């Protein structure tokens, strides 16, 4: 009886304490391909339908040499980008990755990153889960 109570308590702990990939939704993912070898910025909406916070810690794509988490800011009228190590989405919350703010930065894009195609992206979270999304590849105008 005592063991059973412990098991119930333990499973409850797991249920409350961990977010799962099933709670994470990616809406309208797209990436802006630029001419030449210029870095391409990826945008989407990250929705956490779960009961605990989730933290995005990184991303990768076969079409990018490296995929980084960036945030654009304006300082003294100058646009800047900074690396952000991670982005936390509160329980039931959402974070919008959009021009002028958070974005994925695709460094060293591969030739296959061309408007009209799709880029497979894996988003990694701090609990070890990975969420895959197919990003629409748009042109410099975002079309
Ligand atoms: Cu950037």
Q: How many A from CA of 16 to the centre of ligand 1?
A: 34
Domain containing 36 equals 2-138
- Contact yes or no for 118/63 (Cβ under 8 A): no
Neighbours of ion ligand 1 (CB under 5 A): 70, 81, 105
Residue 72 in domain: yes
Longest dimension (CA), the chain: 67
Residue 8: is its pLDDT beyond 90? no
Task: Quick: pLDDT tens for 46-93.
Answer: 999 999 999 999 999 999 999 999 999 988 888 899 999 999 999 999
Q: How many A from CA of 126 to the centre of ligand 1?
A: 21
Q: How many A from CA of 69 to the centre of ligand 1?
A: 7
Residue 83 in domain: yes
Residue 84 in domain: yes
Q: How many A from CA of 124 to the centre of ligand 1?
A: 18
Residue bearing tokens 């703010």: 101
Task: Quick: pLDDT tens for 78-90.
Answer: 889 999 999 999 9
Residue 26 in domain: yes
Q: Name the token pair of 90.
A: 């509160």
Q: How many A from CA of 9 to the centre of ligand 1?
A: 44
Residue 141: is its pLDDT beyond 50? yes
Q: How many A from CA of 4 to the centre of ligand 1?
A: 51
CATH number of the domain encompassing residue 30: 2.60.40.1890
Q: How many A from CA of 105 to the centre of ligand 1?
A: 5
pTM: 0.83
Which of 57, 48, 61 is closest to 21 using CA atoms?
48
Residue 126: is its pLDDT beyond 50? yes
């Amino acid at each position: 009886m005592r063991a059973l109570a412990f098991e119930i308590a333990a499973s409850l702990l797991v249920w409350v304490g961990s977010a799962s990939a099933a709670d994470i939704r990616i809406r309208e993912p797209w990436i802006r391909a630029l001419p030449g070898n210029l870095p391409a910025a990826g945008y989407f909406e990250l929705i956490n339908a779960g009961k605990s916070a989730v933290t995005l810690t990184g991303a990768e794509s076969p079409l990018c040499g490296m995929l980084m988490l960036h945030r654009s800011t304006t300082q003294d009228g100058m646009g800047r980008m900074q690396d952000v190590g991670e982005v936390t989405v509160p329980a039931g919350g959402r974070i919008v990755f959009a021009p002028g703010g958070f974005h994925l930065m695709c460094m060293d894009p591969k030739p296959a990153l061309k408007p009209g195609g799709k880029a497979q992206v894996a988003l990694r979270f701090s609990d070890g889960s990975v969420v895959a999304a197919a990003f629409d590849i748009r042109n410099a105008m975002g079309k």
